[in-house]
Structure 1
Amino acid sequence: MAASQFPDSGEHASDSSGCHVEVTVADSSQATPPRQTHPASDTLDSVRKGDERPSRLSRSFAKVLRKNQDYIRITIPVTRLDRLPPEWWKTGLVFMWAGFNLFCTTVMITVVNDRVPNKSENPPLPDKFFDYIPRQEWAFKVTEVNGMILVTAWFFQWLFLKHRSIVGRRFFFLMGTLYLYRMVTMYITTLPVPSMHMNCAPKLDGDSIGMVHRVLQLLSGGGLTITGSHMMCGDFLYSGHTVMLTLTFLFIREYSPRSLWWYHLICWLLSAVGVVFILVAHEHYSVDVVVAYFITSRLFWWYHTMANNQSLRDSPHNYLNRVWWRYFFRFMERNVRSTVPCTFSWPVQLPTACFKMPCGRYSIVQSVREE
């Protein structure tokens, strides 16, 4: 009985799970019994043992045996364990987490604006960077343009990632958590304006309708000054612009090939220039930018250290597991059993039957029967 692989030449596999292994069983009932040995033939073989070429009779006899064999095709499906399941429903939940915290931060900005002290009574705090670098009015526009370029570049890069669902929920979780921290810090400590040029929106004094209007205006403009939607003060500690500039760059570099060094360099320059020009425009204190960079980068590295090292997840000696968001982490990364590779695919899955070849090309039995 012989076994070999048969390809399913009639149809193409739609995906990797559609590939199958076909075992061919040969019925050897019609084969001739073993050749009986004879002393004369043994003597003749011993004389001709130096000649290894098969005779014409033996070749013909073997050919007849192969042609008269009957084969039975048995299909055995091949199952593969998906170590990186998409789980889009989890990504949707984390997206809602990020959206909720962004909305709450916007509401908090409108609340804190009424708590900002009058700049005539409480002048800006001393800042070493402002002592040496005079304010440039156009600098903050450069910051926001750089931020929009980085966000757009990251969006299209994420769109073409093969494992975009896993990477997307990591990005949304970190962004939502960072804005949750920002909402807390701006509420517990309200700093005076960093520069005398800033004109804050009038205080509402409990006007709920006016607060709703300001929240909608801020959300519609993306919280950007360049769109004319952000005219409020108080959201200084820490800088939201620095968060987005840093976070998008870290994700761009992490989930793109290392060979694209020029792409990483351009994105790093956009991020670094944007952060520095926040200070050149005197829109934030230096401590706002430093704290924002520190929290963003450490949270990113902390999360990916836990995600990329399977041994750290359940280790009792891993102190990284003591963070408050460890339960959210386990929920999102429970079924991610390996490091997410940097591979790309089309955002819309095209019919793969037009592109994929059958699992096998030829089999041993086919090549023998075609002789």
Structure 2
Amino acid sequence: MEASHLLDEREDDRPNGGYHVMVTIDDRPRPQTTPTGRPHPSPVTPSGDQVDDKPDDSQPTHLARGFRKALRKNQDYIRIPVPRSSGSRLPSEWWKTGIAFIWAGFNLVLTTVMITVIHERVPDKSVSPPLPDKFFDYVPRVEWAFSVTEVNGMILVALWFIQWLFLKHRAIVGRRFFFLQGMLYLYRMVTMYITTLPVPSMHMHCAPKLYSDSHGKIERVLQLVSGAGLSITGSHLMCGDFLYSGHTVMLTLTFLFIQEYSPRSLLWRCYHVICWLLSAVGVVCILMAHEHYSVDVVVAYFITSRLFYWYHTIANNQALRGSPNNYLNQTWWNRVFNFLEKNVKTTVPCTFSWPLSLPSVCFKNPCKSYSIVQSTRDE
């Protein structure tokens, strides 16, 4: 018996996809051929007449005719479970995003605690005057400049949050943002603790020191957290968190993520320019307000941009992850990176989708997909 197979593989409309394989088996006799590919001549009877290979159906019996009709009418369909295709190369894994969010929140709260501790160590202006700064030598203080910085920062954070909500792979992008934010505030805690700088300007008024008043320190921590650490909310009355600038970190980080996870069309480029202006003007206004030394802003920009570029360089190049020549793998946070990016096998595309989608309704069992094997026999 000779079988001819017709395979038709089409992706299913269901979310995970599937394949239908149809196999048609035909056992009808085929004419025999010679080695050259020509059919054998039909045998000749002694009388000279050729004998037809086909059976004589001129007078089929009733039983044969009924059997043939039954085979044609009742074709056999066999359901064979087919394993689904491998999982997506960009799985959401929201639980990892939750861990990254907790990491960022923990470091933000710990930073406020550290600011409360450092505030007690800041020397008095009469004892330790501000350090010389070249920018301050040429640009006088502008009182309203720092408010512009914080307003620009809130606008950028709001724009990034809206853009993030409409990203298709928001879980992956979100955990990258939270991880980097937590890392930057962790580094900030270290730098401002090991070196406590005097106030950068004589205009600054620091809250009284509490020394051993633990209850008062806890109230200041809660006040600072509730006001998001902003001066316009009246929550930031402490000094000492100078090296490096937290405002510069947020202005730079939000712009880098806005630019990285958005298309490169002309309309979006205009959007990028607007966001860049908001970020750049906010950073300059920090210096114009004399709220931070120039070195605070420079170090904050350098650490934020380098950490962003290092992380995304490894994330977007699969060959670098296991390469022995990639010295970025020597970073102490490389194990955390491998945990967060383990199942991300390709570059995250800049695609958008609605934040909320209606659940799909399946009328059939969505847990299995089948192949249909059809067999027909003519006798």
TM class, shorter-length: 0.7 to 0.9
Aligned: 1:297 with 2:302: no
Change (3 A) 1:4 1:326: closer
Counterpart for residue 6 of structure 2: 3
Deviations 1:119-174 (A, max 9, x none): 12211111111111111111111100100011011111111111111111111111
3-state SS of 1:21 partner = coil
The Cα shift of 1:2 comes to: 4.5
Query: Which whole-Å CA distance do the structure 2 matches of 1:124 and 1:238 have between them?
Result: 16
2:146 to 140, 144, 165: 140
Q: How big is the alpha-carbon RMSD for the aligned residues of Structure 1 and Structure 2?
A: 2.7
Counterpart for residue 194 of structure 1: 200
Query: Which whole-Å CA distance do the structure 2 matches of 1:6 and 1:287 have between them?
Result: 62
Change (3 A) 1:331 1:129: same
Query: Which whole-Å CA distance do the structure 2 matches of 1:7 and 1:294 have between them?
Result: 51
The Cα shift of 1:245 comes to: 0.2
Counterpart for residue 167 of structure 1: 173
3-state SS of 1:72 partner = strand
Counterpart for residue 26 of structure 2: 28
Change (3 A) 1:257 1:202: same
Query: Which whole-Å CA distance do the structure 2 matches of 1:6 and 1:238 have between them?
Result: 59
Deviations 1:330-366 (A, max 9, x none): 1111111111111112222323459xxxxxxxxxxxx
The Cα shift of 1:71 comes to: 6.2
Indicate conservation of the 8 Å contact 1:139/1:281, yes or no. Answer: yes
Aligned: 1:233 with 2:236: no
The Cα shift of 1:23 comes to: 2.4
Counterpart for residue 56 of structure 1: none
Query: Which whole-Å CA distance do the structure 2 matches of 1:7 and 1:194 have between them?
Result: 68
2:256 to 250, 253, 276: 250
The Cα shift of 1:4 comes to: 4.9
Query: Which whole-Å CA distance do the structure 2 matches of 1:222 and 1:237 have between them?
Result: 19
Percent sequence identity over aligned pairs: 68
- Count of matched residue pairs: 326
1:119 to 116, 125, 129: 125
3-state SS of 1:84 partner = coil
Question: Which structure has greater helix proportion?
Answer: 1
Deviations 1:13-42 (A, max 9, x none): 441x1x33222333434x576498569xxx
Aligned: 1:314 with 2:319: no
**Structural mapping, 1:34-113, within 5 Å:** 34=31, 68=72, 70=75, 72=77, 74=79, 76-113=82-119
Query: Which whole-Å CA distance do the structure 1 matches of 2:320 and 2:8 have between them?
Result: 42
Q: TM-score normalized by structure 1? A: 0.81
Letter in 1 for 2:77: I
Aligned: 1:176 with 2:182: yes
Query: Which whole-Å CA distance do the structure 1 matches of 2:300 and 2:116 have between them?
Result: 21
Indicate conservation of the 8 Å contact 1:275/1:289, yes or no. Answer: yes
Query: Which whole-Å CA distance do the structure 1 matches of 2:97 and 2:113 have between them?
Result: 24
3-state SS of 1:261 partner = helix
Q: TM-score normalized by structure 2? A: 0.80
Give unpaired runs (5+ residues) of structure 1.
Answer: 40-64, 355-371
Letter in 2 for 1:72: Y
Letter in 1 for 2:332: W
Counterpart for residue 363 of structure 1: none
Indicate conservation of the 8 Å contact 1:24/1:74, yes or no. Answer: no
Aligned: 1:346 with 2:344: no
The Cα shift of 1:302 comes to: 0.8
Deviations 1:271-293 (A, max 9, x none): 00000000011110111000000
Counterpart for residue 162 of structure 2: 156
Query: Which whole-Å CA distance do the structure 2 matches of 1:151 and 1:166 have between them?
Result: 18
Q: List 4+ stretches of structure 1 deviating above 6 A.
A: none
Deviations 1:284-337 (A, max 9, x none): 011100000000000110111111111111111211111111111111111111
Counterpart for residue 285 of structure 1: 293
The Cα shift of 1:3 comes to: 2.4
Query: Which whole-Å CA distance do the structure 2 matches of 1:107 and 1:33 have between them?
Result: 87
Counterpart for residue 335 of structure 1: 343
Letter in 1 for 2:272: H
3-state SS of 1:23 partner = coil
